[in-house]
Structure 1
């Protein structure tokens, strides 16, 4: 792929290959969110991972309460309204993720 894009320098190829290996290891990493892989889309897991690595997060939400301020009942109502999950245990797992996400113990 690198040759296709005209990256011919061995040092640059080696550095990009190492970055790819690091990204793949991280994707299979040990973040707390991986426990919930059955109910999380890859994009949401990626978002949570980036959020956990960030030094600050700024959001603007005009249509729902931000995650830091959500109660379990509110998070559950949002999850049920999304209609992605049907089984009660899936709903509860996703609600758990929504409530764990902002917790300081998880690298924030």
Structure 2
């Protein structure tokens, strides 16, 4: 994957996270604050816990930090998969967001 291909796919991922937050806030009582600074998105829940997603451009990875731990993802041509086999990005994000917020939240592309 070239640097430009990585940046294109990573930008799509970050936009999908932001759009999911907007949809969740519009369609439910959940309050998920999404703040973006360059290649980093910080999700803050009503209980003040956070999930941080950031780009690691030199490695062509997306990293996610949640209460459950830190995860590294690489694009496999179809989806962002955990580098240690823990699964797909949006599945893990949804699981961690639900765990941290105490509300059923679904993130997707």
TM-score, normalised via structure 1 length: 0.28
Q: Max radius of gyration: which structure?
A: 1
Q: Is the strand fraction higher in 1 or 2?
A: 2
Specify which structure has the bigger relative contact order, considering alpha-carbon pairs within 8 angstroms and separated by 6 or more residues.
Answer: 1
TM-score, normalised via structure 2 length: 0.28
